[in-house]
A and B are shown apart, each in its own frame.
Chain A
Amino acid sequence: MDIPYTVTARPDTGVFNAKLGVWLFLASEVMLFGGLFAGYVFLRIGAPAWPGALHGETYAHASEVLNVPLATLNTFVLIASSVTMVMAWASLMMKNFARYRLYMGGTIALAFVFLIVKVFEYGSKFEHGLFPSESNFLAIYFTLTGLHALHVIGGIIVNTYFWGPGAKMWRTDPKRFTNRIEVAGLYWHFVDLVWIFLFPTIYLL
């Protein structure tokens, strides 16, 4: 099946269809994360202390429970992956496929680094008996960061496809492939953007 308007911008919207589609999808994602953020704010305002009591001890700051240096490292990792993603698209625009492969490979590798750091972070929490069921604070921490991590995994799957088998399109329809990388990039930058708000609100406040 041939889907129309995959390359050329539509005269009525001014953008190619895939871009509008991804932006609409990202709008729904804003509402998904927004609902969870609203729940977080609601519970936090009503809580007498935050993070509060855990295993008989009371904590006044999230940084006493969560690992801020690891989260800071992950922030740098995600920002760097956003740069490599946009550079991958720019490489295609400059007709340099080898450079595209390099930058897209870098994006995927950085996404894996993010997940590995996350595994260590979660592992350390579980070792100390800190599970989502322990408190509202931990429930929110695991829900928001877990949902974000699922988005990272989704991004890895999509980007790996475009790095590997999906890249065949570069030979047959380079413009369409470039557009695909642009919209995949929009999703990936959104994942970075969510983390930019998650990091200070969950870890630092």
Chain B
Amino acid sequence: MDEHTTASAEDIRKHVRVYLIVFAALATLTVVTVAVSYVHLPILPALVVGLLIATIKGGLVAAYFMHLVSEKKVIFGVLIITAVFLVGMFILTLSSFHDQEGIMTFTP
């Protein structure tokens, strides 16, 4: 049986406490994200810090609100395949810069 459909009311009360802790963590990390942006770091460190905090926040949402911490293998299978295709799409898109060298001019 799916763990979430069989959990007792007491288990759920424990979950609720975790949800509130995650909420506090997400709010704190949002404040940190905005604070870091006002430092105006160079683009690469700013990107690394911004995406790192976003990944932590996204991880918390996925792990606790979307219950991935106690999810079945089949869901992780779907997510792993998605991640592979996503990375592949990014590599394909960005690798096209090599074709464009010297001829690519963008106007913002």
A and B interact: yes
Q: Which residues of A contact B (CB under 8 A)?
A: 7-9, 13-16, 19-20, 23-24, 27, 30-31, 34-35, 37-39, 41-43, 45-53, 61, 63, 68, 72, 75-76, 79-80, 82-83, 85-87, 90, 93-95, 135-137, 175, 178-179, 182, 185-186, 189-190, 192-193, 196-197, 199-201, 203-205
Query: In the complex the two chains form, what is the Cα distance from A80 to B26 in whole Å?
Result: 9
* Residue among A8, A35, A205 with max Cβ neighbours from chain B (10 Å): A205
Contact status B86-A42, CB under 8 Å = no
Query: In the complex the two chains form, what is the Cα distance from A82 to B57 in whole Å?
Result: 12
Query: In the complex the two chains form, what is the Cα distance from A24 to B79 in whole Å?
Result: 9
Query: In the complex the two chains form, what is the Cα distance from A80 to B19 in whole Å?
Result: 11
Contact status A30-B2, CB under 8 Å = no
**Per DSSP, are chain B's interface residues mostly helix, strand or loop, or mixed?**
helix
Interchain Cβ contacts within 8 Å, total number: 165
Contact status A94-B13, CB under 8 Å = yes
- A35: chain B residues at CB < 8 Å are 89
- A48: chain B residues at CB < 8 Å are 106, 108
Contact status A200-B106, CB under 8 Å = no
Nearest 9 CB-CB pairings of A with B: A52-B108, A14-B72, A204-B37, A200-B50, A38-B93, A9-B2, A27-B82, A46-B106, A93-B12
**Chain B minimum-CB-distance residue to A86:** B65
